[in-house]
Amino acid sequence: MAWVRRMLVTLLFLTMAVVAGGALFFNDLVRFAMTPSERFDPAALPAAPDYTQPASWSALPTREDAADAFVSALPAGDQSKAAADVFYVHPTTYVGSNWNGPIDSARLNADTDRVATRIQASAFNGCCAVYGPRYRQANGMAFTQPSEDGGRALDLAWTDVRAAFRHFVSTRDAQRPFIVASHSQGSALAYRLLREEIAATPLRNQLVAAYLIGGPITEEMVARELPQVPVCAAPDDVGCVLGWHARSAAYKPGPFEFRMLAADGSAVERPGARLCVNPLSWRHDNVAVAAEQNSGAVFLDADPPVLLPHFASGRCMDGTLVTELAGAVPRDLMGSLLDRALGAGNWHPVEFQLFFADIRRNAAVRLAAWQQHAPAN
């Protein structure tokens, strides 16, 4: 039974977390927990979301939810008076034995709200009204060990994100600016959204920017597939795309590193440099920026939530944002176990949080630039 499997895996995680020298076995356990127990079955999919219903959304500006979170050291926003919208696609929060996670699981939805929407989407509530759909997210193995089944799982997740975006577009002023924001799996899906639903349509004229963080996106992909949506090269560029993958200088790729995917979900063996725009300078270059320029990391999952100025440095090198930290990242037990699986110096789980205050500030800068030079349709 699924609950027995989850309980067993949790117990094994806890045991191995305290056993010295068990790194290899620990990774095997993580892989076991993540690997679906059956082939992808189109006849056994979770129920599809209905985006006319509030329950199908993790964040909506018309209610109080996780995207309203803020730290008192930063000015709070009022989504009811926002001049723009954000369409936010959350990262993988499902760990289980199926290829796609359900959207009607109270436990999974609470996890998504807590470890994704609250600590990521809330970065935009100072400038914008936040919309964040739930979707039948693909199992993480679709990225770490690409396969035909994984590709099908991602396609299913994509159909939900596309449906949510189309509903989002249908209910808003066609001239109103918007931001696309995402992380990890969400960025893979949001990139496809840019490519298929935005770049070659009038919607690109309302696009302030796309913050696609921590996703399998390369410089070459953007140049080849998104000629209408270039890489952001300056802090006030609009109609552009940006992102980064934060790692320490000493990081060594491990078994759970995201792999670049082709359109069919298979792995690209020689993908080229990943997209990297430095969130401390907001420039597409390899200039190092010291931590003193960091407006503040924000850890809304800490108790109490904290703002840590000057916490992280950054320099884009060969597609990686080489990042060194000024202190320890506040992590709970499950976060610590995730960090261990990903490897020392892999800042993927906190790529938003390390630059939270800078993201919040830059979104306002780009929106102001868009408003000053709003493109004609």
- pLDDT by residue (tens digit) across 164-175? 999 999 999 989
Q: Which carries the bigger pLDDT value, residue 269 or residue 20?
A: 269
Residues 102 and 228 placed together within one structural domain of the fold: yes
Residues with Cβ within 8 Å of 99's Cβ and at least 6 positions away in sequence, in order, are: 36, 38, 40, 138, 139, 142, 149, 150, 152, 153, 156
Position 11 pLDDT exceeds 80: no
* Listed ranges 184-198, 249-263, 342-356; the one with the highest mean pLDDT: 184-198
Residues 172 and 143 placed together within one structural domain of the fold: yes
Residues 167 and 313 placed together within one structural domain of the fold: yes
Residues 277 and 320 placed together within one structural domain of the fold: yes
Q: What is the pLDDT of residue 259?
A: 63
Asked whether residue 377 is domain-assigned, the answer is: no
Asked whether residue 208 is domain-assigned, the answer is: yes
Q: What is the pLDDT of residue 336?
A: 73
Residues 102 and 11 placed together within one structural domain of the fold: no
Asked whether residue 268 is domain-assigned, the answer is: yes
Position 22 pLDDT exceeds 70: no
Position 333 pLDDT exceeds 90: no
Residues 68 and 161 placed together within one structural domain of the fold: yes
Residues 49 and 27 placed together within one structural domain of the fold: no
Position 374 pLDDT exceeds 90: no
Position 367 pLDDT exceeds 50: yes
Asked whether residue 165 is domain-assigned, the answer is: yes
Q: What is the pTM of this model?
A: 0.90
Mean pLDDT of 285-289: 97
Residues 244 and 312 placed together within one structural domain of the fold: yes
Mean pLDDT of 58-74: 94
pLDDT band at 260 (very low <50, low <70, confident <90, very high): low
Position 155 pLDDT exceeds 80: yes
Mean pLDDT of 263-277: 73
Residue-number span of the structural domain to which 331 is assigned: 42-372
Asked whether residue 135 is domain-assigned, the answer is: yes
Asked whether residue 97 is domain-assigned, the answer is: yes
Q: What is the CA radius of gyration of the chain?
A: 19
Q: What is the pLDDT of residue 18?
A: 45
Residues 24 and 140 placed together within one structural domain of the fold: no
Asked whether residue 209 is domain-assigned, the answer is: yes
Element spanning 210, H or E: strand 207-213
Residues 3 and 144 placed together within one structural domain of the fold: no
Position 342 pLDDT exceeds 60: yes
Using the CB atoms, write b or e for 355-370: b if 16+ within 10 Å.
Answer: bbbbbbbbbbbbbebb
pLDDT band at 73 (very low <50, low <70, confident <90, very high): confident
pLDDT band at 262 (very low <50, low <70, confident <90, very high): low
Residues 153 and 279 placed together within one structural domain of the fold: yes
Residues 65 and 48 placed together within one structural domain of the fold: yes
Q: What is the pLDDT of residue 77?
A: 82
Domain count, the chain: 2
Asked whether residue 21 is domain-assigned, the answer is: yes
Give the CA distances from residue 209 to residues 9, 190, 193, 216, 338, in Å, rounded to whole numbers and listed in that order: 40, 12, 13, 18, 30
8 A C-beta contact, residue 139 and residue 100: yes
For 106-141, write each residue's pLDDT tens digit: 999 999 999 999 999 999 999 999 999 999 999 988
First to last CA, the chain: 55
8 A C-beta contact, residue 134 and residue 56: yes
CA separation for the pair 166, 163 (Å, rounded): 5
pLDDT band at 28 (very low <50, low <70, confident <90, very high): low
Any bridge partners for residue 210, and if so which?
180, 241
